[in-house]
Amino acid sequence: MSVRRSAARGEAGLTLIELMIAVVLLGIIFVPLTEAMTTGLITTTEAQQRLAASRSPMFANAFFADDAQSAAIDGITTGGSPVCGSGTNVVSFSWTENGTPYSASYILQTSGGLRQLVRNYCSNGGGAQPATLAISLGSPDPFVLCLPGCGAASKPRTIVLTARKPNGDVWQLQGTRRAT
């Protein structure tokens, strides 16, 4: 008879103790795995935000250098109203190529509580095409220095826009107007 009990017990399945051990082991495996996955997702998002913030000055410099180089001798405006689009004008550039007027205005705007540097580009009197160059700026407002001076009378050659990141780091955009 004892042979039949062993055979019957072998087919009965899992005991309560075995089932509890399996549940505990699954818990031990899934808790750290879930934590690692959550941490990885959070870190990836933060890294993408930092990367976007670090690329802003590089993109801005590419636009700024081209716009400054293209500007007409009387096509550099600091402060006042932007030549293209709307917002608080930092500096605007205007020029004509093959009879077609172009302009680019670097403006300061607030979006979602963040102070941003935006480039508005207009061609042939069309609407502004905005491009956010700096997602978040610190204080004070960006400012422009022209050498030898701003305005058509001083024939500015070099234009430097200085801005500050929220952490206090300063970055500059520099462009040199073509000699004409």
Which residue blocks in 78-171 are alpha helix, DSSP H? none
Residue-level pLDDT at 7: 52
- DSSP string computed for 1-70: -HHHHHHHHHHS---HHHHHHHHHHHHHHHHHHHHHHHHHHHHHHHHHHHHHHHHHHHHHHHHHHHHHHH
Q: For each of the chain's 180 residues, which pLDDT tens digit applies?
A: 445 555 555 566 788 898 899 999 999 998 988 898 888 877 777 777 666 666 666 677 788 999 999 998 888 989 889 999 998 999 999 999 999 999 999 999 998 888 889 999 999 878 889 988 888 888 888 889 888 887 767 778 899 999 888 888 888 889 988 876
Burial class of 36 by CB neighbour count within 10 A (0 to 12, 13 to 18, 19+) = exposed
Q: Identify the CA nearest to 178 among candidates 110, 107, 111, 97.
A: 97
Residue-level pLDDT at 79: 87
Neighbours of 97 (CB within 10 A): 9
For residues 126 and 63, give the distance between their C-alpha atoms in angstroms, rounded to a whole number. 19
**101 - beta bridge partners?**
96
Burial class of 142 by CB neighbour count within 10 A (0 to 12, 13 to 18, 19+) = buried
Residue-level pLDDT at 52: 63
Residue-level pLDDT at 1: 47
Long-range CB pairs of 77-82 (<8 Å, 24+ gap) are 78/144, 78/146, 78/150, 82/107, 82/120
The DSSP symbol for 165 reads -
Residue-level pLDDT at 167: 85
Neighbours of 169 (CB within 10 A): 10
Residue-level pLDDT at 9: 54
Residue-level pLDDT at 103: 95
For residues 135 and 11, give the distance between their C-alpha atoms in angstroms, rounded to a whole number. 66
